[in-house]
Structures are given as structure tokens and as C-alpha cells.
Amino acid sequence: MDIELEPADLAFQEEVQNFLNDNAYKPGDDFNAWRMAWFATAKDKGGWDIPKWPTEFGGPGWSPTQHYIWEKATAVANTPWDMPFGLSMLAPILMGYGTEEQQQRFLPDIRARKVNWCQGYSEPGAGSDLANLKTKAELSEDGSHYVVNGTKIWTTMAHIADWIFCLTRTDDSGKKQQGITFLLFPMKQDGIEVKPIITLGGAHSVNMVHFTDVNVPVENRIGEEGKGWTYAKGLLQHERTGLAGISRSIVALEDLKAQATTVKRGNGTLMDDPAYRAKIAELEVDLMAVEFTELRSLASASTGAGPGPESSILKLKGTEIQQRIQKLTVEAGGIYSAAWGATTPGHKFARGGMSGYLASRSFTIYGGASEVQKDVIAKNVLEIKRSSS
């Protein structure tokens, strides 16, 4: 998609590209030292290290077009990867619902990338039906702390996390969306056991986490007791927008098209095959439509509005597109996509084809399954009401 940029936006685009070029990783450098120096330099640019944070918390206050330029440029460039849980998910909740003391306590370390966070939402029997969670948090008799017992599952990066933001059940007497409380507590303490879950692609990124009599000071509660569902919904909207990965998919699709031109088919290449080319074209059209939706979301955000139900559209379609890219990568790699290891035969891009495809199966599940997103879209975008019969 071509966006006609104003002179000021073209100047910003050049500034972004110069920044990325000047601060790119050089082979042989210490990666961790480069990573922290990159964020420090970005901070000195006026909040470029936290591009989505509002100006009152140190963000750059970019326009939707500037955000678009940044997302496109950083998707192509070699930039240090960030854990999203603190920066993109918890931080907006702290800004919107946390006390000033909590903001001062947690936000600086989140910005400095000093603390790794994980998300305690899904449970055995309460994944997409999040409001059905059972992990209990009981207030002590003196009212000073909660005692947490229960289990969370699919907890991404819990094995390296320093802290967790966790949904707990403090009251089960009313509707299941009520009585949920949002707590923050350290992972490195007695009563917390982390067990790895190895995914289809052979990676260890998710875990099962057991809590046994874990004490959480009451000052680590976000907002009011029993109002955690309200905060959780806002956090999920931020998460779903990020999971869509539109800019990354644009880059991945361009890479796939280039890779397909290296695969021989008859007297030409795979990209000369009408059937394969049609799949690529259909995918490109769908990706363009989702990109327009993302731009509308950015425009809404520029007015101060938080992510709305369109975040479910982005998550639904964005993750489906990621899966389709992985599937077409496997198709392009052919039999070589099934091979594992760094020295396997065939095209280099095919070596990770099957592992990438298997890993992508979870994209339409985590962050709210596609079925849940369709319910949200039906209710809040299409305004389809449930039948009373």
C-alpha cells in the first residue's frame, strides 16, 4: 500500500532511517551491550525507546503517520527485540489504573528493560473462557496481604520472568466477570513452581505455573478489588493489537515472494506458477485490508482513545495471515521443509519451514482464540445481539 506523505513526514521517515542505520548491530559486537546502548540512544531522541507511551509518561507523542513509518521501518531493520509484557501490556494498565506510587515504582524499570514480566491469565479449564478462572486470592485477616493459590498455564517466558501480573479470584458469589482482582508479585519467591511446556515446534517459551500460599502485599493490587476484569479487557486490547504483527507480515511476505523466485518449476520458478501466484496475490490483498484497519486504529489512538473492538479484527486477521505465510513457506520449500538442522539439504529458507508452521498453529489461540474474537466483533463491531430465545 502506498501512503502519500507530507514533507514533514518524509523528513521524519529519513530521520528514522538514519537513526536505524547509525545504530544497527555490527557483527562481532557484544549483543547485550549493543541492545542497551540502542535503547539509551533511542531514549535520548525523545522517547523513541517507548514509542507507544503517551507524552506524560515520556513517550514521543507521534502522529498515526509517524507510528506507521516507525513500524514499517523497524520491521525491516535489525532492531533489538523487546519483551511485550511490561512495555506494551502492563504499562498502559499502570498508566490508566495504577496509583502514582505504583507508576513511580514500576514504570521506570519497565522502560529501562531491567525487569522481565509475564502474564498470569489462562488456566487449565479457563483459557479462552478467561472469566472462568479459579486461582484464589484470599485477603489476610489484618488486610495487609493476599494469599494466592492456583495454577496458570501457557504462561509465556515465566521461566525467565522477574514479576507476574496475575488475574485472581477474590469473590465467586456473583457473575463470573465480577470478583476478579489484578495483582502484581515477584516470581522468585517461595510457593511458585514453574514447569516447562515444549511446543510443537520444539521450543520452550510457555509454561505451567503453580502458586501455593503465595503472599502478595495489598499495595500490589491494581485498582479496586473485584474490578480486575475491567482492567484485563483493556490489557487484552493492547495485546491483540500487538499480536497482529502487520508490519512484520508485510516484510515476511516480501521475503517469501523473493524466496519463491529461487525455486525451480518447469522452465521457470514457483512465482511463475499460476496457482501459487494466486495464493500470494490473495494473501497480499487481505494483508492490505488489515493494514488499512491498523491505520484506522492508529488514527483513533491519536485522539487519545484506547484500542477498541477493532483490535479483535486485527488479531483475528493478522494471526491468520501469519499462519498463511508459514503455510506458503512450507509449500515453497517442498520436501526440504520437513528437514531439521543447520546443514540440511535444499533451500536455506526451507530449513525452518516446518518448525515455523507448527509454531504458527498457536497464533490463532493465544491472546484470545479466533472464536472469541469473532464473538467480540459480532457484538461490538457488527452490533449483532444475542437472541433472547
Q: Exposed, middle or buried, 280 (CB in 10 Å: 0-12/13-18/19+)?
A: buried
Residue labelled with grid coordinates 531514549: 43
Q: How far is residue 204's CA from residue 200's CA, in Å, rounded to a whole number? A: 10
Q: Which residues pair with 145 in a beta bridge?
A: 217
**Chain-centre distance of CA 323, in angstroms?**
15
Q: How far is residue 304's CA from residue 296's CA, in Å, rounded to a whole number? A: 13
Q: How many CB atoms lie within 10 A of CB 270?
A: 22
User: For 45-88, where are the alpha helices, taking DSSP H only?
Assistant: 64-76, 84
Q: How far is residue 379's CA from residue 386's CA, in Å, rounded to a whole number? A: 8
Q: How far is residue 155's CA from residue 54's CA, in Å, rounded to a whole number? A: 28
Q: How far is residue 189's CA from residue 214's CA, in Å, rounded to a whole number? A: 8
Q: How far is residue 253's CA from residue 234's CA, in Å, rounded to a whole number? A: 30
Q: How far is residue 84's CA from residue 331's CA, in Å, rounded to a whole number? A: 31
Three-point CA angle 247, 164, 31, nearest 5°: 50
Q: How far is residue 268's CA from residue 271's CA, in Å, rounded to a whole number? A: 8
- Nearest CA to 43 out of 26, 63, 24, 57 is that of 57
Cell numbers given for 72: 514499517
Element (H, E) at 225: none
123 flagged as catalytic: no
Residue labelled with grid coordinates 473492538: 309
Q: How far is residue 382's CA from residue 375's CA, in Å, rounded to a whole number? A: 10
Number of H helices and E strands in the chain, helices first, is 12, 10
**Active-site residue among 71, 123, 225, 239?**
239
Three-point CA angle 325, 63, 305, nearest 5°: 85
- Dihedral through CA 283, CA 285, CA 287, CA 290, nearest 10? -140
Cell numbers given for 90: 502492563
Give the catalytic positions in this structure. 239
